[in-house]
Amino acid sequence: MRPCSTVMHLLLRWMRRCGRHSRSRMPRRLKQPVSYIRLIFKSLYFNSLTNSEVVLDCILEPVFWMVEVVTRWFGMVFVFLVVALTSSVVFIAYFCLLPLVLQTYSPGWMMWHICYGHWNLVMIVFHYYKATKTPPGYPPKIKNDVPFVSFCKKCVIPKPARSHHCGICKTCILKMDHHCPWLNNCVGHYNHRYFFSFCLCLTLGCMYCSISGRNLFIDAYNAIDQFRHLDAEKQGVPVTGIGLLIGIVPSEAMAGKVEVSQPPYTYKDRMFHKSVIYMWVLTSTVAVALGALTLWHAVLITCGETSIERHINNKEAKRLAKRGKVYRNPFSYGKLNNWKVFFGVEKRSHWLTRVLLPSGHTPYGDGLTWDIYPLKKDMMQV
């Protein structure tokens, strides 16, 4: 038995030396990720609180890390795409559709399109700029008397109610909803209204372009399809006698009864039709996708919760349901009051000045403290 134990001892020592040499030869950039992965796998064996959710989080940790890195580095690219695509639609509307509206529409419809189109454009630009440039709100990093509900292990600071840590921004966010790559910013307490208003106005603008441009899209598509078939049917220069046989020139034209003349399809006409098709397809697609997202956030606002809180509240409701209890969201003030608090409506005129027109007013509260129990009466008599 002694020779076997000696061999095993030597083998273990050799493996340790090989591991040390491999770690010493490893580049510095790989040492930290490798050690982090080893720590993750060790936590699966040495943690007494390990369950299926912990294992799944550890397995998906590299995926989350990759998503965070890509979102962080490509944030400006997403912002550029939003600006470029929106600008392209505005360019087509001004230089292709507006002259057509001024020439063919009645004065009433002309005023409607000009007024609504410019109002929608101003709302989109204003709210997108404010959503990207307004900080979402951060908890204080120094000691204070603000009540907190948990402690952030990554920021090492107390977290107030409704605050969550953003792995992309590397900090905690007040009333965090999510990190939006199209804004390159987190959606939190101070810019949540701007984000929702931007989504709503952009959806309305895309629906407006899609509905009003439907007939133009059909005409443009038929025109391009018609001239494409005409180009495909051209077989060269018709010859007398043979033209009647192969059907290039009608017999009436050859007899001098009918003159065949195709209207010229210029480069300007082709670009106009392609621009109309591009605008209609883009706005229709965005209207469907962004409309679904806007509707989802409208449901969340009605319930008085964020995207993260919806997941937390569902788990809490299931946990209490097993005990025969009903969970109530402590941050909900009622359906109508939730919308008033969200938009900052304190009197009737605010529905016009703060909702239907651009407004930079701050939201209700400071994002650090919240009323614990829902109010039974109307908190804002509006």
Catalytic residues: 180
What three-state secondary structure class fits 316? helix
Q: How far apart are the first and last CA of the chain?
A: 89
Which of 357, 356, 327, 351 is CA-nearest to residue 339? 351
Report the largest interatomic distance among the alpha carbons of the chain, rounded to a whole angstrom: 116
Residue 191's CB: how many other CB atoms inside 10 A? 25
In sequence order, the β-bridge partners of residue 157 are 152
Taking a C-beta distance cutoff of 8 angstroms, is the pair 15, 9 a contact? no
Taking a C-beta distance cutoff of 8 angstroms, is the pair 338, 332 a contact? yes
The H-assigned helical ranges of the chain are 2-25, 28-46, 52-73, 75-92, 98-104, 107-133, 192-212, 214-233, 242-246, 251-254, 267-303, 307-322, 335-343, 350
Burial class (CB in 10 A: 0-12, 13-18, 19+), 179: buried
Q: How far apart are CA 296 and CA 290, in angstroms?
A: 10
What three-state secondary structure class fits 354? helix
Q: How far apart are CA 73 and CA 63, in angstroms?
A: 16
Token pair listed for 34: 């490798």
